[in-house]
Amino acid sequence: MNDQPNEDYELLDDFESFSAEIRGGIDELGWKKPMEVQRRVIPIMRDGRDLIVQAMTGSGKTGAFGLPVVERIDPELKTPQALVLAPTRELALQIEKEVRTMGRGRGIESVAVYGGTAYGPQLDAFARGAQVLVGTPGRLLDHLGSGALKLDRLRVLIFDEADELLSLGFWPDMKEIHKFVPRRLITGLFSATMPQRVLSLARVFLDDPVYASLVKPEDQAPAEIEHYHYIVTAQQKDKELLRILQFEDPDSAIIFCNTRADVRYLTAFLQRNHLDADMIQGEMTQAAREQVMRRIKAQELRFLVATDVAARGIDISDLSHVISYAAPESPEIYLHRTGRTGRAGKRGTAISLVSGLDIGNFRALQQINRMEIPERSIPSDEQVGSRTLARLEVLLSHELRELPERERRLRQEQHLPLVQSLASTPDGQRLLSAVLFQWLDHRHVAAPEGPEAARAESAGNAVQAAEARDEDEPRPRRRRRRPRRNGSGQA
């Protein structure tokens, strides 16, 4: 990946190289000179390169990909030639409006494709031959699955807010969409933040991408922290925490307890269950504490268990999750805990385990901090198993993708007869389970528990939908059918 793109590409200093028809749209949008992201990105896209662009919201990203898109479209070809994916309907509508203005002078038609509205206008746009689609994953898959939409002539694929679209929640939808797009096309990822996990998933869609970053570390505001809580049974709290960790599979987390005894017990419990955990508590020597801190800062330790007192003053900037195993003793302590995630422009998650006696205090905490922390249900065995299957599929697909075709085929097929033989007997199934356990444990992927996990239908059912902001957000896969229209155009 080339992180110095402009050594090989001249910056775009003005819009004069665009046709008069496109310049008319630029004038209508009120753009006088290219913004920095447009100066750097447009020459790369004109060259037909895949690219990853990190730029803050409001920096002109839509123009950076929209202008090369409308320039590359063949107005005479009445079929989808560019697809822009967005995580929410509001963003899809905003992008489509600007792209429509950019391409109007060339006779290019665009359409926003999103859920919660009638199918009719979208189907009519397809029938007219709309060349640019801007849509959310769920409704696009409805059309693709029904056969109402085909992407076989697609030339450009854009992910806007790519960090959200390539998160685990959206991953099953992204993988499904990938089946419908041609292998040879220009793909661009645009986002304000690019976590390493997202960059890894992006390889499925990209071929030797150019990387362009316009974000300085000091300019990155902390991303929004997602807060939620689980109601747990006091006597089963440790086992329910284990299930939550298996479901969430955090990259790294600090788990807060209120007493040193709880810290010692919980650390031992997690280690017995093959989770990479260590602790910091007041009875440890300074040398031992420093050794633990070195491990977690070097990303060699996933779970740090600590009391608020022991954790005070430590600087960890790369935590994906903060978990309150015990309710904080004050609303201020809750803010202190959760402020340790969502740093350096990254997203963060704050999870609280609340047992019966703490419910009243937890409600008061929300009132005092002027925040609403939604409740989630403890994941079932089937949900844990399904999500684990999805992670396993993602990891394996990436490892295989990096291999030459001959080696990939060898790994996929050489032991198939042995696998089929083992899977046909109970003893063989136990052996396969042991191999899978070792593989998952080595890669820090939570293993499913219980008989329900083995009956997960597919990795497509992997992710329990988060508290939905929009019906187009990730959701369990369902069998799709062709939408029918009544007289009003409603599906």
Count other Cβ atoms within 10 Å, centred on residue 257.
23
The length of the chain in residues reads 491
Residues 78, 205, single domain; the answer is yes
The identity of residue 111, as a single letter, is V
Q: What is the pLDDT of residue 475?
A: 44
Does the pLDDT value for residue 455 go beyond 50? no
Q: What is the DSSP string of 82-105?
A: EEEE-SSHHHHHHHHHHHHHHHGG
Owning domain of residue 353: 225-376
User: Are residue 65 and residue 187 in the same domain, yes or no?
Assistant: yes
DSSP secondary structure string, 11-55?
----STTS-HHHHHHHHHHT--S--HHHHHHHHHHHTT--EEEE-
Q: Which residues, in sequence order, are CB contacts of 438 under 8 Å at separation 6+?
A: none
Residues 345 and 419 in one domain: no
Give pLDDT, residue 295.
86
Residue at 479 is within a domain = no
Average pLDDT over residues 146-150: 95
Question: 70 or 412, which is more confident?
Answer: 70
As for how many domains the chain has, the answer is 3
Q: How far is CA 43 from CA 9, 215, 323, 364, in A?
A: 6, 19, 45, 55
Distance CA 247, CA 383 (A): 7
Residue 229: strand pairing partners: 352, 375
Cα dist. 245→159, 239, 248, 324 in Å?
29, 10, 5, 12
The answer to whether the CB of 453 falls within 8 A of the CB of 384 is yes
**Which residue did the predictor score with more confidence, 234 or 437?**
234
Residue with the larger pLDDT of the pair 87 and 378: 378
Q: Tell whether 186 is covered by a domain.
A: yes
Residue among 443, 458, 466, 465 at smallest CA distance from 382:
458
pLDDT value of residue 292 = 85
Indicate the pTM of the whole model: 0.53
Give the confidence band of 486 by pLDDT, cuts at 50, 70, 90.
Answer: very low
pLDDT reported for residue 315:
58
- Whether 330 and 396 map to the same domain: the answer is no
Judge if 148 and 177 occupy the same domain: yes
Whether residues 307 and 429 share a domain: the answer is no
